[in-house]
Structure 1
């Protein structure tokens, strides 16, 4: 495997840049929540549709994205996704001019479609770029790039606009979005020129199907129960993690804390600490299933503390939820994709569709906030992590003959 490490260091660097772009785009959407709530006088439940609509395309475009990858390859699909991002942020400008919430939702939907295509490209790419048993290590490195970008987005917007988020209005968003459009067009060009070799999973080629005996005689992707249960685990994980990442600025604003945008760092710090542990420990000292068990327990503990301690302290325990979430993505993805063989791309499309968790969980968080207060709304995370613990203990082991 020494030649793989030598050859794949550069591709991983470019893909890391793409993971950063994904996090940056989602961080912008989380910044919009308190801005639109203040400018358009909408409720929390309605404002969280911004994030929900961003994740809805995962459900719609998960399968088409896999077909696009099959037709165009990973690299061209990545470039296409950046063009879609540029179009989405171009739509944010007339939405801001007209102060139209519905047009903001359309822009967020297109941004989500771009995200779906990019995620469908980069996640399986990183998973199969090297040995499956060390996939969690590679994905952990990508996770650092992704999660550090979430808080960078609100800080970037605050710096460009020159105002505290509480004082920001929709009209302040024009110049930042022009800059962001240019950046995403540039990223699309870079991705086309990047040295990214096309890769395939073991047994993915029909003429090499015997390399993966478990998948060789299967006729449908629905004959892989560990994948289907993993999709549900991923659904809950993405929903709960997005709660932790996207609600921090809003929660800090809700608690009347000064410099609310700075609280966006609480969750990413927890995530990055966990990712570093994954890079160091997996697979040499810790396998992916064990990492998922430990992280599930940490996330359950964090969920309980957020809702049970005083509200002034509770926001800090969101970092514990984030720490628990850190290795869930790196562990869930390879556990669910194990032994798919010729169904690898189809399985990847199902997992991409499962990332639509925030479509349901984020609006529920908002409506619970409107009716029971934002601290109590965080109860929504607990059942998500309990199911993920089940998958870590039992679900990923279920196989059909």
Structure 2
């Protein structure tokens, strides 16, 4: 770190920063969790196929592909805190559009609203993830990211439960017009979060070697002229692309899968994946870096996810939904481990590298959409076979990919 608070205030400053950032990670998860409620609702209310209803996820995550890399220029231009405030403004605009989307029962308008919400998510992810990664020592970055992950993933099931609580009905009996009040409340909260982020006492942080005067501290990046000269980063971007896609499947399909199995109160099954994720995150906080390196954590996580994938597709359907917890458990430390492994030794390319990693979040658009169409053709349970080859690639990255240098 090149710009940290002095010794007397360093711990308190970092703790306060983590509290503020944890709130933002919760907001990210909450915004994404709304999709898990909308998917089965749109499927019934608009009479569309599963593949078409999963387009709301595609619209949300496609913003990462378009705005992920440009986000680094915005951060460089206006700074971290102003970019955070901008992201909450974009969130609020997107949430506002959900209201006329419901009134008009318009899928294109729903997709537009989801895309704008995705824009807000893109800019917020582009700020908070690298910020947490470089807020302290790189070898303990996965520990900090695990703390953030708990906040993020707990928010996923909170979103559909909040909507159900405010509306006062099970998702089976909800009309699109019933969603107006909860979205008005959500808009107010997100505007408040934007104001808080703008005036928050977050310290400025930079990665080792990011400044010209400290470039010598990162000799591997010193002679590089392009972000495309870091193979461990590029392979990590693909690993993150696969990971986000399959984790989004585990989080975003539970209500839909439970409904397809005719299980009562399907929104309650939204907790299965977050339970596995939170258990994994707690393990990361306790074990990394004292007992487990970040690469070893990724290796173990890959095997857990692979075993979980087999259990989901090979057990009886009414039981298989509970084995999604193992997919989620395996996913838990992938995000915390992939970020520091991919961003190590980037030096002055840190912001550009983090933006490429944010672009990879578009995996949450493409892969769940593929799942939706596979579900239409082969059934919900068989569609989970999609997870297996993705986890096998992440296993490769844990074994070898993160070590590759030029």
TM-score, normalised relative to structure 1: 0.99
Residue in 1 aligned with 2:307?
A: 301
Please point out which of 210, 214, 218 is paired with 1:208.
214
2-structure distance, mates of 1:147, 1:42: 28
Specify every segment of 5 or more residues in structure 1 that has no aligned partner in the other structure, as ranges.
none
Q: Is the Cα–Cα contact under 8 Å of residues 280 and 332 in structure 2 kept in the other structure? A: yes
Give how far 1:194 is off.
1.1
Q: Is the 8 A contact 1:81 1:114 kept in 2?
A: yes
- Determine the C-alpha separation between the residues in 2 that align with 1:359 and 1:215: 32
> 1:250 aligned to 256, 267, 280, which one?
256
Alignment partner, residue 109 of structure 1: 115
Q: For residue 344 of structure 1, give the secondary structure of its aligned residue in structure 2.
A: helix
Work out whether 1:127 is the aligned partner of 2:95. no
Matches within 5 A, 1:379-398: 379-398=385-404
* Cross-structure match for 1:178: 184
- Per the TM alignment, residue 73 of structure 1 is displaced from its structure 2 partner at its CA by 0.9
Deviation at 1:2?
Answer: 7.8
Q: Quick one: which of 162, 172, 176 aligns to 1:166?
A: 172
Please tell me whether residue 339 in structure 1 is matched to residue 345 in structure 2: yes
* TM-superposition CA deviations, 1:37-85 (whole Å, max 9, x none): 1100000011111101100011110111110110111111011100100
Aligned to 2:237: 231
Bigger mean CA offset, 293-302 vs 4-13: 4-13
Distance 1:160 1:88 in 2: 20
Alpha-carbon distance in 1 for matches of 2:8, 2:356: 32
Tell me if structure 1 keeps the 8 A contact 2:13–2:203.
no
Match of 1:371 in 2: 377
Name the CA distance, whole Å, in 2 between partners of 1:399 and 1:142.
29
Instruction: Extract structure 1 runs of 4+ deviating beyond 6 A.
Output: none
May I ask how many residue pairs the two structures share in their alignment? 400
Counterpart pick for 2:143 among 131, 137, 147: 137
CA distance in 2, matches of 1:349, 1:192: 21
Rounded to whole Å, the distance in 2 between the matches of 1:274 and 1:202 is 29
Matched, 1:349 2:362: no
Residue aligning to 2:226: 220
Question: How far apart, in 1, do the equivalents of 2:116 and 2:177 lie?
Answer: 21
- The Cα of 1:149 is off from its aligned counterpart by 0.2
Aligned to 1:53: 59
State the 1:208 CA deviation.
Answer: 1.9
- Give SS of 1:195's match: coil
2:342 is aligned with 1:330 = no
Q: Secondary structure at the match of 2:130?
A: helix
Residue 364 of structure 2 is aligned to residue 358 of structure 1: yes
After superposition, give the CA deviation of every residue in 1:180-229 in whole Å (9 maximum; x if it has no partner).
Answer: 11010000001111110111000001232111100011000011000000
Once the two structures are superposed, residues 261-316 of structure 1 have per-residue CA deviations (whole angstroms, 9 ceiling, x without a partner) of 00000000000000000000000000000000000000000001000000010000
TM-aligned CA deviation for residue 7 of structure 1: 2.0
What do residues 105-157 of structure 1 show as CA deviations (whole Å, max 9, x unaligned)?
A: 00000000100000000000000000000000000000000000000000000
The answer (yes or no) to whether the contact 1:96–1:170 under 8 Å persists in 2 is yes
Q: Is the 8 A contact 1:226 1:397 kept in 2?
A: yes
Aligned to 1:202, the other structure's residue is in SS state: coil
Contact kept, 8 Å, 1:4 with 1:130, in 2: the verdict is no
How far apart are the structure 1 equivalents of 2:36 and 2:55?
A: 11
Q: Give the match for residue 3 of structure 2.
A: none
Distance 1:189 1:6 in 2: 22
Q: Is the 8 A contact 1:201 1:341 kept in 2?
A: yes
The separation in 2 between residues aligned to 1:50 and 1:329, in whole angstroms, is 23
SS at match of 2:34: helix
Gaps of 5+ in 2: 1-6
**Within the alignment, does 1:156 sit opposite 2:167 as a pair?**
no
